[in-house]
Amino acid sequence: MKWRRTAVAVALVILGVALQTTLFVKLRPFGASPALALLLILAVCRHLGRVPSLLVGFSTGLLLDLLSETPLGLWALVLTTVAFVTVRLRSRFEDDIRLLVPGVFLLTFVALALYALLGTIFGEQTLADAQVVRKMLLPAVYNTILLPLVLPPVTRLVGARGGGRAGWDQ
């Protein structure tokens, strides 16, 4: 059963990466697009164990790195960090919408800020862009708006976390 959830999660994030790198490259209201892969990582890591969450986050980031012109490993590091934070904080957020919505906004904004900071360190001059704050705020707002459309289907498809057994797979 654990492998089914992980396989469904991988299929969902691959679909998210495909949409983000094709559809949302052209569809950019106000000059920014949603960070759909990041939103899907947030959604699926709520239901996966620790290690599968980190592997899905890293793999999704690596796929984004390979499909974009960023230094290899930049998105992988950011999405692995998002997966780790999601796993660590998921018990506090669970299904409380009063915490979930601002949490998604904040995690998206912080992840994009981390991406901008690391991109600048690796020579991308991301923080030199005059519109950098807008390019971090708008995707966070878009992800918050898309949350009610993404979270229920992901919860239905990936399902609840299993078991009460302690260990790395929880």
Residue 84 lies in a domain: yes
Residue 61 lies in a domain: yes
User: Is the pLDDT at 162 greater than 90, yes or no?
Assistant: no
Q: What is the pLDDT of residue 24?
A: 79
Residue 146 lies in a domain: yes
User: Is the pLDDT at 14 greater than 90, yes or no?
Assistant: yes
Residue 59 lies in a domain: yes
Residue 168 lies in a domain: no
Residue 164 lies in a domain: no
Residue 8 lies in a domain: yes
Distance CA 37, CA 16 (A): 5
State which residues form the domain around 22: 2-158
Q: What is the pLDDT of residue 165?
A: 35
Do residues 56 and 41 lie in contact, with contact meaning Cβ atoms separated by under 8 Å? yes
Q: What is the pLDDT of residue 160?
A: 65
Number of domains in the chain: 1
User: Is the pLDDT at 163 greater than 50, yes or no?
Assistant: no
Q: Quick one: pLDDT band at residue 166, thresholds 50, 70, 90? A: very low
Residue 170 lies in a domain: no
Q: Long-range CB contacts (< 8 A, 24+ apart) of 37-40? A: 37/13, 37/64, 37/79, 38/78, 38/79, 38/82, 38/108, 38/111, 38/112, 38/139, 38/143, 39/104, 39/108, 39/143, 39/146, 39/147, 39/150, 40/12, 40/13, 40/15, 40/16, 40/150, 40/154
User: Is the pLDDT at 167 greater than 70, yes or no?
Assistant: no
Which backbone phi and psi does 159 adopt, to 5 degrees?
85, 180
